[in-house]
Chains A and B, each alone.
Chain A
Amino acid sequence: MSVAKKKMKIPGGGWGSVKHFVILGVMALELFPFYMMLQISTKDNKQFVESPFLPNSVGEWQWDNYANAFRVISPYILNTVFVTVLTVAISLTFAVCGAYFFARHKLAGSGILWIVFLMLMMMPGIANIVTLYNILMNLNLLNSLWALIIVGVSGGQAIQLFILRNFIEDLPRDLFEAAEIDGASHLRQIIHVVFPLCRPIIGSLAILMFISEWNEFLLPLIVLRDHELYTLGVGLVNMEEGAAIREWGKSMAAYVVASLPLIVLFLFTMKLFVRGLAAGAIKG
């Protein structure tokens, strides 16, 4: 035990500083597009042509690029926040309830039902979009944000149920038995036992789903018609089409603004995310 606790150095020999150069070099290349995005967002077309690669001094920055971007992008962001938050909340609620069902009690048919959900994880979902559009049309859900929410919920169930079921099965049975003896209904058991103990994994799942829903643009592209309903993905696509003369600064500013919500989310949840991913990867 003491041997493992001692700090072990991984052999790298004289390559020590090379590693740093390589990592920093690769990351510089990887982040170069974002650097370009940031520095162009402060320029208008004239400044961009004059100095495409180097940032200007703050005094010369075109702030109305950002004013314009906020004006155009904010409604999209609001729509996207609405859709994403609801999708995550509803999806996890369904998933926790469902996982509780599978994890705690072996009822008739639970084996078959589990296979139903398991198969979902295998399905690549490629042919979905065509018939999904058709179903949404028949349910009168086209051109509605709720279509995005419900489809998002449905898509997340498979993985979330799988992971949550494993987690709940690992919880000590005594806690549940104790609560049951106390006369707690299943709902109370979930609220008082499952939720508090599964908080980290629920948090990680929530973040992962948030990011994935935030990036979604195909379904919104097909489903949404009204400009007021556009989510971020569609809004940005829509912004690109049209103008005869490309205003690079304005476009880049819009991209930066579009990235802000995710950055904010990350700042608040960074630790949870990295820890949760690592734990999930090892466990899975």
Chain B
Amino acid sequence: MGGPTAVLPVSNLGCGRIYGRTANRPIHAANPGRRTMRRFRKERTNAVLYLFIFPSLLTVLIFSYFPVANAIFHSFFIWNGNDYREYIGLGNFLRLFSDETFRKSFVTVGILLLANLLKMWPSIFLAVFIHRVQHDGWRYFYRSLVVLPMLVPHVVVLFVWKFIYDPNYGPLNAILDWTGIKSVLSFLSDLFNWNVFFPDLPIAWLTTPELILPALIFWGFPWVGNVIGILVYLSGLEAIDKSIYESAEIDGAGPFRVFYFIELPLILTQIRIMLILMVINTFKNYGFFYLALDQNGGPAGAGMVPSLWMFNRAFYAGQFGYACAIGMALFGLILFLTWINNKYLRVDK
């Protein structure tokens, strides 16, 4: 990279030296010889530089790595979280297979995972819709509108939705009642012997075991609150070359074909990223279930998921060793799924 020194946009640090390529510097300028500079630079580089990675490394080792190592270690023990440890080898892991709650929780989280897969699509569609708006002003407005859900803390959104599901005061029941859907549901419930919808009783979404899963799946309707996802999809869509759209128009492709054959393949990278994030989050997240239901997974444990069970065993049953084993199982599962995601959802441009 040749060029005049004047191009470099950096201050001279108040030293008054002339810097730049040796060729540009006047020969008689007061600059030390190159060999001296190089040696000086190397000596100073080594020692001090390690200092710069030190705080980061230390924090990460103590508070990220060590807990994981510690968890792996303690998953082979019975542990009360404090001083008492009793080595039981694979005992905790064997217990996983006979633990009824754990197995049921896996089924639950599996169902929720499939539901979450479906819930990804409204965000994708909305991003495509916004992207295709012709008018620039409107597009900018919609783009800002979409960001609004992120302004509210997660806990608040959770509690507001809990209010929506409230049997006596929540809007959901009120709307179902007003539109007559509730009567239909009661009728079907009577017909198929569901025993959950009754014409005179308010629907207890979060306290009826059979209704928990539908309630959790419907939660967050219309499922476009994932602002980061939408923005990521939008930026992926905007990176698509306009000439592709032009040739599609010439070929006479309608809006659906354009989506399926052009837009979808070209944002597959973004979808893949959001997909793996979603999967990891589905398995990791227990805070949501803890707040929406309770530490036991709600009525009859219908909302128990493995991560919540881990939390429960540790902090409510004091079985820290077993909790570590549950954590290890989940950790292994997530790693496995990440590996599959990387291997089989390869996107070749």
A interface residues (Cβ-Cβ under 8 A, vs B): 3-4, 8-13, 15-16, 19-20, 22-23, 26-27, 29-34, 36-37, 48-49, 52-53, 93-95, 97-98, 100-102, 105, 107, 113, 116-117, 120, 122-135, 137, 150-151, 153-155, 157-158, 161, 172, 174-175, 177-186, 188, 192-193, 211, 214-215, 217-218, 222, 232-233, 236-237, 240, 246, 248, 251-252, 255, 258-259, 262-263, 266, 270, 274, 277-278, 281-282
Measured between beta carbons, the chain B residues less than 8 angstroms from A12 are: 132, 134, 255
- B64 & A127 in contact (Cβ 8 Å cutoff): no
A209 to chain B, nearest CB (A): 13
**Pick the contact of A123 from B68, B81, B234 — CB < 8 Å?**
B68
- B156 & A13 in contact (Cβ 8 Å cutoff): no
**Pick the contact of B147 from A133, A155, A274 — CB < 8 Å?**
A274
Q: 12 A-B pairs, CB-CB below 8 angstroms? A: A4-B242, A12-B134, A13-B254, A20-B133, A30-B225, A95-B56, A123-B64, A127-B310, A130-B320, A137-B81, A274-B143, A282-B235
Measured between beta carbons, the chain B residues less than 8 angstroms from A188 are: 13
**Pick the contact of B255 from A15, A185, A186, A246 — CB < 8 Å?**
A15
B94 close to chain A: CB less than 8 A: no
Q: How far is the CA of A158 from the CA of B133 in the complex (A)?
A: 37
Q: How far is the CA of A218 from the CA of B155 in the complex (A)?
A: 10
B31 close to chain A: CB less than 8 A: yes
Q: How far is the CA of A263 from the CA of B152 in the complex (A)?
A: 8
- B232 & A130 in contact (Cβ 8 Å cutoff): no
**Pick the contact of A8 from B9, B66, B70, B242 — CB < 8 Å?**
B242
Measured between beta carbons, the chain B residues less than 8 angstroms from A172 are: 1
B307 close to chain A: CB less than 8 A: yes
- A126 & B1 in contact (Cβ 8 Å cutoff): no
**Pick the contact of B62 from A135, A179, A182, A274 — CB < 8 Å?**
A135
Measured between beta carbons, the chain A residues less than 8 angstroms from B323 are: 130
Measured between beta carbons, the chain A residues less than 8 angstroms from B1 are: 172, 174
**Pick the contact of B129 from A19, A132, A175, A258 — CB < 8 Å?**
A19
- B155 & A215 in contact (Cβ 8 Å cutoff): yes
**Pick the contact of A281 from B138, B164, B236, B255 — CB < 8 Å?**
B236
Measured between beta carbons, the chain A residues less than 8 angstroms from B142 are: 23, 27
- B171 & A97 in contact (Cβ 8 Å cutoff): no
**Additional 9 contacts, C-beta under 8 A, given A23-B133, A113-B57, A233-B154:** A16-B134, A22-B129, A33-B157, A135-B70, A185-B48, A192-B10, A211-B150, A266-B151, A274-B143
Measured between beta carbons, the chain B residues less than 8 angstroms from A13 are: 254-255
- A157 & B59 in contact (Cβ 8 Å cutoff): yes
Q: How far is the CA of A122 from the CA of B339 in the complex (A)?
A: 10
A131 to chain B, nearest CB (A): 4
**Pick the contact of A214 from B75, B153, B280, B334 — CB < 8 Å?**
B153
**Pick the contact of A131 from B56, B70, B147, B224 — CB < 8 Å?**
B70
**Pick the contact of B68 from A31, A131, A182 — CB < 8 Å?**
A131
- B245 & A8 in contact (Cβ 8 Å cutoff): yes
- B67 & A161 in contact (Cβ 8 Å cutoff): no
Measured between beta carbons, the chain B residues less than 8 angstroms from A3 are: 243
Q: How far is the CA of A214 from the CA of B48 in the complex (A)?
A: 35
Measured between beta carbons, the chain B residues less than 8 angstroms from A248 are: 163, 169
**Pick the contact of B10 from A20, A105, A123, A175 — CB < 8 Å?**
A175
Which of B109-117, B198-206, B324-332 sits within the interface? B324-332
- B159 & A240 in contact (Cβ 8 Å cutoff): yes
Q: How far is the CA of A152 from the CA of B233 in the complex (A)?
A: 28
| Given A8-B245, A19-B132, A151-B63, A124:B330 Cβ within 8 A | yes
| Given A126-B310, A255-B159, A100:B126 Cβ within 8 A | no
Q: How far is the CA of A252 from the CA of B170 in the complex (A)?
A: 13
Q: How far is the CA of A144 from the CA of B65 in the complex (A)?
A: 21
Residue of A nearest to B75 (CB): A127
**Pick the contact of B12 from A158, A182, A218, A246 — CB < 8 Å?**
A182
Residue of A nearest to B150 (CB): A211
Residue of B nearest to A153 (CB): B59
Measured between beta carbons, the chain B residues less than 8 angstroms from A215 are: 153-155
Q: How far is the CA of A113 from the CA of B327 in the complex (A)?
A: 26
| Given A178-B8, A233-B153, A33:B134 Cβ within 8 A | no
- B56 & A161 in contact (Cβ 8 Å cutoff): yes
- A150 & B131 in contact (Cβ 8 Å cutoff): no
- B171 & A29 in contact (Cβ 8 Å cutoff): no
B84 close to chain A: CB less than 8 A: no
Measured between beta carbons, the chain A residues less than 8 angstroms from B129 are: 19, 22-23
| Given A9-B134, A30-B225, A37-B160, A124:B63 Cβ within 8 A | no
Which of B15-23, B99-107, B182-190 sits within the interface? B15-23
B50 close to chain A: CB less than 8 A: yes
A135 to chain B, nearest CB (A): 6
Residue with the highest number of chain B CB atoms closer than 10 Å, among A33, A120, A233? A33
- A154 & B149 in contact (Cβ 8 Å cutoff): no
| Given A4-B242, A185-B48, A30:B64 Cβ within 8 A | no
| Given A11-B249, A27-B146, A258-B156, A98:B57 Cβ within 8 A | yes
